[in-house]
Amino acid sequence: MTRSIITLVLIASLATACSFDDSGEAGSGTAHFTVYGEDFIEQGIPAEEVEDGWEIAFDRFLIVLGLVTVADSTGGEGATLAPPILFDMTAAGPHDVGTTGELEARAWDEVGFDIPPFDAETEVDASASEEDAELMDENAYAVYVEGSATKEGVTKTFHWGFTGTTEYRDCVEVDEAGEAARVGILVTNGGVTDVQITIHGDHFFYDDLTAANAVLRFDPLAAADDLGDADQEITRTELDAVQLVDVDTGTYGTGSASDVNTLGDFVLALTTTLGHFQGEGHCHSHGD
Amino acid sequence: MIAPVLSPRHLAASIVGASLAIVLPLVGTVFTACGEDSGATTGRRVVLATTVEVAPAAEAGFTNAFGFEITLDRVLISVGELRYFAGAPIGRRDPPLAPGLTGPRLVHAHPGHYVAGDELGEMLDPLTVDVLAGPAALPDGQGITGEYLSASFRFASPPVGSLADDLGGAVVLVKGTAASADLEIAFELSAAHDQVLDTYGEPLIAGCPFTAVTVDRDGAVILTVDPTLWLDQVDFSREPDVVTGEPVVLDPAEVPHQAFVRGLKKAAAYGFSFIPNPGASP
């Protein structure tokens, strides 16, 4: 039944996409992009969402968003929003990314974006400060998170920055059941299509890169500090010192990422899973 | 017959994949209606010969992450069903990046949401093979034309074939030598069915990389098993009571064996590729 609904909606949508205006020309519209961190980043992750009962809050969640692109698999020219923009996702969103120029009114099935390192071209959104920009610029970070986790009177803090570009491509919108509802976006004649790039901050704490039944877990991260200097600050150096084979809770499966062997590698790999599309929709990359 | 995969994970993945199967042809159809050529080439049946071989690095000997120089003498593996999918694997990076995982990464965006997509092909007949003895032919599989991006590997249990008894009830057996500045041992590692289960309780490695290829005719699927990844994180010095010069069967209760099992579960250790038959027509 659901598939039938999807099919009907899609047919109706694509029929609209192929509509023509009064002059007999295909019409045009635009796409307005926003980026949103949802409650988990803005308000924090409640303890009941975390398998081992830690309550997690972000004080800063800085992310550079760039190369937002609308294209199609038939080679049609779409649009690219430039330059990259720095956002602090802890500020109330969604945050405005930009609006494309006029696009032909039809389906555009190749939508993607990058999370690249901060560079001289990067603009700073009102959600982020000049101090944030300096931090990102000095370290060429693409992502920086600062926050804390609390459980049974113990609070652990973290300040983690990540360099390197992650490319998200071929984004697919899903419905509430998780079924693919649309590949890319639909630009309607005379309309403005709202497109949300959604950042899932809770992914930093998943305990498996591949398993569908992965859960949020914090004990192993907290233990990394206990094994290190036990100063309640979990550093990436401390995460790097923990071999996954020595983690005794959770699966910490690594899929086809062959070189993820430490907790530090694992958290780094999870940074490549933050970006989503229209809420729960997902993307994957074709690489450079 | 390409049968649907019914495990919970594959069910979830196949829901998305099936939806895409509905959506994508429609998109192509409407593009065609709008004057574009979708160029679809999927859906024609093909015969897929199947060969298992070992990664050259494992054959030659290698040094693992803890500095042990490892030479393999025997690698037996109980190969079960192989299935090929249209969805890209999670964590695949192309080309390999080093050091420090910097640079663009090929990813799927949602951990736990590996989207296998449509199943495009399969080989269903199990066989125990010694991968160091040279490429081993498995029975032919079958599939349909399309772009193959990922695969699943199942350990057959119980093992079958003329080498099955050599496994001694395990699904994998590795024998070799490991040498560092302080330690030199002949080791034996094995893993039983219960030790290679995924998070759904199946002896399955999902999301294995299938070197991106368009299968458009009959040909051969090559499964390349890479024991260097199985053994990369094995620190033999952490095995209790190990003595230089004496053979050791690694204890499943100890960290080195657990590292071996983690290696067995790395999808990257099971690479798939395709070679079209020279005489076959697309």
Predicted confidence (pLDDT) per residue in A83-112, tens digit: 999 999 999 999 999 999 999 999 999 999
The CA distance from A86 to the nearest CA of chain B, in Å, is 18
- CA–CA dist A261, A266 (Å, integer): 7
CB contact under 8 A, B111 and A208: yes
CB contact under 8 A, B26 and A7: yes
CB contact under 8 A, A284 and B107: yes
Nearest CA to A95 among A120, A122, A121, A64? A64
CB contact under 8 A, B101 and A275: no
The secondary structure of B92-115 as a DSSP string is --SS---STT-S----BSSTT---
- CA–CA dist B270, A26 (Å, integer): 48
Task: Tell me which residue range forms the domain holding B227.
Answer: 41-276
- For residue B65, the chain A residues in CB contact (below 8 A) are 261
Contact by Cβ (8 Å): A116, A287: no
Interface pTM, i.e. ipTM: 0.74
Q: What are phi and psi of B117, to 5 degrees?
A: 75, -160
Q: Is B165 on the interface with A (CB under 8 A)?
A: no
Q: Is B15 on the interface with A (CB under 8 A)?
A: yes
- CA–CA dist A222, A54 (Å, integer): 10
Closest-approach residue (CA) in chain A for B91: A257
The owner of tokens 């398998």 is: A51
- For residue A258, the chain B residues in CB contact (below 8 A) are 229, 266, 268-269
Q: How far is CA A48 from CA A40, A44, A51, A53, B161, in A?
A: 12, 12, 7, 6, 49
In this structure, which long-range contacts are made by residues A232-235, counting pairs with CB atoms below 8 Å and at least 24 apart in sequence?
Answer: A232/A154, A232/A155, A232/A156, A232/A157, A233/A156, A233/A157, A233/A158, A233/A159, A234/A156, A234/A157, A234/A158, A235/A158, A235/A159
The CA distance from B223 to the nearest CA of chain A, in Å, is 15
- Burial of residue A224 (CB within 10 Å: 0-12, 13-18, 19+) is buried
Q: What is the pLDDT of residue A23?
A: 56
Helices assigned H by DSSP within B121-242: 227-231
- CA–CA dist A235, A149 (Å, integer): 13
CB contact under 8 A, B109 and A182: no
Beta bridge partners of A123: A85
Six-digit token string for A162 = 């990540």
Mutate to test the interface with B, among A77, A189, A199, A210 (most CBs of B within 10 A): A210
For B237-276, b/e burial (b = at least 16 CB within 10 A) is ebbeebeeeeebebebeebbbbbbbbbbbbbbbbbbbbeb
- For residue A11, the chain B residues in CB contact (below 8 A) are 26
Nearest CA to B85 among A108, A269, A258, A256? A256
Count of domains in chain A? 1
Count of domains in chain B? 1
Contact by Cβ (8 Å): A256, B91: yes
Contact by Cβ (8 Å): B153, B82: yes
Q: Is residue B15 one of the residues assigned to a domain?
A: no
- CA–CA dist B204, B80 (Å, integer): 9
Task: Tell me which residue range forms the domain holding A177.
Answer: 2-284
Nearest CA to B185 among B266, B92, B277, B250? B250
Which element (helix H / strand E) includes A4?
A: helix A2-17
The CA distance from A274 to the nearest CA of chain B, in Å, is 7
Q: Is B21 on the interface with A (CB under 8 A)?
A: no
Q: Is B94 on the interface with A (CB under 8 A)?
A: yes
Residues contacting residue B189 through CB under 8 Å, at least 6 positions apart? B172, B173, B174, B175, B231, B234, B249, B250, B257, B260
Six-digit token string for B65 = 């992450």
Give CA B97 to chain center in angstroms. Answer: 20
CB contact under 8 A, A165 and B104: yes
- Residue-by-residue pLDDT tens, chain B, 282 positions: 343 333 333 333 333 333 333 333 333 332 223 223 333 445 899 999 999 999 999 998 999 999 999 999 999 999 999 999 988 776 543 333 333 333 333 333 344 456 777 899 999 999 999 999 999 999 999 999 999 999 999 999 999 999 999 999 999 999 999 999 999 999 999 999 999 999 889 999 998 999 868 999 999 999 999 999 999 999 999 999 888 888 899 999 999 999 999 999 999 999 999 999 887 777
- CA–CA dist A68, A168 (Å, integer): 9
Contact by Cβ (8 Å): A109, A183: yes
Of A164, A210, A274, the CB nearest to B101: A164
Residue type, A147: G
Q: What is the pLDDT of residue A78?
A: 92
Strands B248-249 and B184-191 turn out to be parallel
CB contact under 8 A, B110 and A74: no
Q: Is A17 on the interface with B (CB under 8 A)?
A: yes
Q: Show which of residues 83-102 on chain A sit within 8 Å of chain B, judged by CB atoms.
A: none
For A25-62, b/e burial (b = at least 16 CB within 10 A) is ebbbbbbebebbbbebbbebbeeebbbbebbbebebbb
Q: Is residue B56 one of the residues assigned to a domain?
A: yes
Question: pLDDT for A184-194, tens place per residue?
Answer: 999 999 999 99
The CA distance from B21 to the nearest CA of chain A, in Å, is 10
Mutual angle of helices A2-17 and B8-33, in 10-degree steps: 30
Of A261, A270, A280, the CB nearest to B233: A261
Q: Is B35 on the interface with A (CB under 8 A)?
A: no
Q: Is B238 on the interface with A (CB under 8 A)?
A: no
Q: Show which of residues 137-196 on chain A sit within 8 Å of chain B, judged by CB atoms.
A: 163-168, 172, 174, 177-183
Q: What is the pLDDT of residue A65?
A: 98
Q: Show which of residues 238-257 on chain A sit within 8 Å of chain B, judged by CB atoms.
A: 243-246, 251, 253-257
CB contact under 8 A, B207 and A6: no
Closest-approach residue (CA) in chain B for A26: B34
CB contact under 8 A, B267 and A210: yes
Q: What are phi and psi of A269, to 5 degrees?
A: -65, -35
- For residue B232, the chain A residues in CB contact (below 8 A) are 261
Of A74, A107, A272, the CB nearest to B105: A272
The CA distance from B175 to the nearest CA of chain A, in Å, is 21
Which element (helix H / strand E) includes A238?
A: helix A236-240
In total, the C-beta contacts within 8 angstroms joining chain A to chain B are 203
- CA–CA dist A60, A159 (Å, integer): 9
- CA–CA dist B257, B236 (Å, integer): 9
Q: Is B197 on the interface with A (CB under 8 A)?
A: no
Q: Is B101 on the interface with A (CB under 8 A)?
A: yes
- Residue-by-residue pLDDT tens, chain A, 288 positions: 333 333 333 333 443 444 445 555 679 999 999 999 999 999 999 999 999 999 999 999 999 999 999 999 888 879 999 899 999 999 999 999 999 999 999 999 999 999 999 999 999 999 999 999 999 999 999 999 999 999 999 999 999 999 999 999 889 898 887 778 899 999 999 999 999 999 999 999 999 987 878 899 999 999 999 999 999 999 999 999 999 999 989 889 887 777 899 999 999 989 888 999 999 888 875 433
